[in-house]
Structure 1
Amino acid sequence: MKYINENMTILEICEKYPETIEFLKSKGFKNIDDKNTINIIGKITLKNVLSMKKINSDIFVEILNEIVNQNRNSIDITINNSEKSKEKNENTITMMGLLPCPVRIPLLEAMKEFLENNSEIDLSYDLKAASYGLDWLKDDVIKANHPEKLADIFISAGFDLFFEDELMGKFKKENIFKDITGIKEYNKDFNNEKISLKDPDGDYSMLGVVPAIFLVNTAELGEREIPRTWEDLLKPEFEKSVSLPISDFDLFNSILINIYKTYGKEAVKKLGKSLLQNLHPSQMIKSDKFKENIPTVTIMPYFFTKMIKEDSSMIAVWPEDGAAVSPIFMLTKKDKEDKLKKIAEFLSGEKVGKILSHQGLFPSINPNIDNNINGKKFLWTGWDYIHENNIGEILRECKELFFDNIKNK
């Protein structure tokens, strides 16, 4: 549901939707919770303010509406879109997970419509915004010391939840999950000699990926050339010049493990040395407005490039050696295949694929979706590497290498 539009005044937004104030303050709307300040700037429209800041209003408004939707639970996520009892019976299907923030509301709306058209499905689901974090999911998985206590379907991005031995890893070893999407070959963007996302063991499903690309502030480059690859970014001239989305742990972990696997331990150390500051992706798009500690390069999800104004000094660079990807995984229980198949097919189908790819710039694995990637490469660890290594241990080593070099630089 859309509550906010660009023609509303700052005062109107703050009064009607106070849950947006902290976000607005983080974007440079200083002291808007102060009555004197809001009386001065409050009559200015959001569109005019964003125009002065050279921020794309469409995406900014979309994020504001996501904040309101998340806070007010505008999408009813009870069973079959009705006020049913919270008590679940043996026929109730349970689903938990995280959805990428920019597409969460469209995906929930699509889910609501799907359930209305398939009233025979008894589904209870809790799909929070990715910004909510994984801790609640991890707690649920840890407490579920038996497969029967697990939710029937899990959706989330990143590596740690699905491969840690004390989390999903232990259930994977018990052959609990199965890919029941029915998709034999993934989208051509992920099914070629350069990359293969489909799990050869048939345990895990994917819905799409979150690519990490470079945002280069040309005003801060000086005599340096624009970095075109991850190797370029690890050169000494970019030390203390890079902003990384450390708070976006799924993407950050994916960047670390891809760099570790592709370029080795020393590359992870160099990445730590390159760090200037940690920014949330929504802050990155206006980093050319900072007065100090201005990053030359920010690493960010591809989606946020939609917020860059044409006259900005910021340019998006898709790494020539590949955008590091954080896969959006889906796990479905093998012993409930008959009950889950229709839902799995919907989630991996064209409607959801278009929402991910076209609205969120999260390329879909569905073979019928045009991701508009035009042959761009991805940096992906590969299933052989995942199956042959303890991903949890590697992630812990990566973080140790990275953060030790922040302290020592």
Structure 2
Amino acid sequence: MNNYFNMNETVFDVTERYPETIRYLAGKGFTPLTNPVMRKLMGKKITLEKAFLSKKLDIDLCERELVEIIEQNASSGLAHIDLSLKVKSDNPLEPDDGKKTVRIEGVLPCPIRIPLLESFEAFYADYIETHQEELEKRNYRIRYDLRSANLGIDWIIDLARTGKKENLPDVLLSAGFELFFDKKLMGSFIENKEFHC
């Protein structure tokens, strides 16, 4: 038993909560999990325990290794990056400490998402370590929310439908490009030169 997941939970639920576990599971022979559609289809039908049993793997060992991966991800110096996009102030662009928030949001295809986030987090942790004094003087912070493309872009569409450029992230990543040509969504911001591709 651990504090992160239950072995009777579905593979999909655990990988949704802890995307860093996808690469580990793929390495154990569950390669279809790297495909978002297959992960949703296959992962919702099988528990972690049954998945490991199907490959004749040591369940206790696999559980310990998954916990280690989750804990390494949580303690890999990423405490410097606020992943929540939640701020204490009423105005999401003006947190209490007066620093502007640079928001990076969007969706990425699952096979790209994990390696990109791992590289970004490693770079950011190293950058913080080598430029700590300089960063303390900066008047901004970086926050990001990069979700799996298989979850859809409804939340981005909702932001664009408000018609207010301040609701949009500073950097928007999408797995497709149709969002940017729709005049009722991002197209209007691009046309008015309030957002650039």
Shorter chain as denominator, the TM-score bin is 0.5 to 0.7
Structure 1 counterpart of 2:160, from 129, 141, 150: 141
Structure 2 counterpart of 1:6, from 10, 23, 28: 28
Name the aligned partner's letter for residue 101 of structure 2.
T
| Count, aligned residues | 134
Partner of 1:155 in structure 2? 173
Alignment deviations for residues 161-204 of structure 1 (CA, whole Å, 9 cap, x no partner): 111111001101111234xxxxxxxxxxxxxxxxxxxxxxxxx2
> Are residues 1:81 and 2:81 paired?
yes
In structure 2, relative to structure 1, the CA distance for the partners of 1:80 and 1:22 (3 Å cut) is: same
Alignment deviations for residues 100-157 of structure 1 (CA, whole Å, 9 cap, x no partner): 11121111111212322343361011100111101111011112x2222321110002
Aligned partners of 1:158 and 1:170: how far apart in 2? 17
Partner of 2:16 in structure 1? none
Name the aligned partner's letter for residue 120 of structure 2.
M
In structure 2, the gaps of 5 or more residues are 1-19, 31-38, 58-65, 129-134
Structure 1 counterpart of 2:124, from 115, 118, 129: 115
> Are residues 1:103 and 2:109 paired?
no
SS in 1 for 2:184: helix
Instruction: Name the Cα RMSD after superposition.
Output: 4.0
Partner of 1:128 in structure 2? 147
Aligned partners of 1:103 and 1:46: how far apart in 2? 29
In structure 1, the gaps of 5 or more residues are 9-19, 27-31, 48-64, 179-203, 205-409
Partner of 2:3 in structure 1? none
TM-score by length of 1: 0.28
Asked if 1 retains the 8 angstrom alpha-carbon contact of 2:104 and 2:142, the reply is yes
Structure 1 counterpart of 2:191, from 140, 162, 173: 173
In structure 2, relative to structure 1, the CA distance for the partners of 1:80 and 1:92 (3 Å cut) is: farther
Asked if 2 retains the 8 angstrom alpha-carbon contact of 1:75 and 1:109, the reply is no
Asked if 1 retains the 8 angstrom alpha-carbon contact of 2:81 and 2:143, the reply is no
Aligned partners of 1:83 and 1:136: how far apart in 2? 16
* Post-superposition offset of 1:45: 1.5
Name the aligned partner's letter for residue 121 of structure 2.
K
Asked if 1 retains the 8 angstrom alpha-carbon contact of 2:105 and 2:173, the reply is yes
More helix by share: 2
Aligned partners of 1:137 and 1:21: how far apart in 2? 21
Name the aligned partner's letter for residue 42 of structure 2.
F
Aligned partners of 1:21 and 1:147: how far apart in 2? 33
Asked if 2 retains the 8 angstrom alpha-carbon contact of 1:79 and 1:124, the reply is no
Aligned partners of 1:21 and 1:161: how far apart in 2? 24
Asked if 1 retains the 8 angstrom alpha-carbon contact of 2:104 and 2:145, the reply is yes
Q: Show structure 1 runs of 4+ deviating over 6 A.
A: none
SS in 2 for 1:131: helix
In structure 2, relative to structure 1, the CA distance for the partners of 1:134 and 1:43 (3 Å cut) is: closer
Higher Cα Rg, which structure: 1
SS in 2 for 1:137: helix
In structure 2, relative to structure 1, the CA distance for the partners of 1:83 and 1:22 (3 Å cut) is: closer
Aligned partners of 1:79 and 1:150: how far apart in 2? 25
TM-score by length of 2: 0.53
SS in 1 for 2:179: helix
Percent identity (aligned): 29
TM alignment of 1:220-369, pairs within 5 A: none
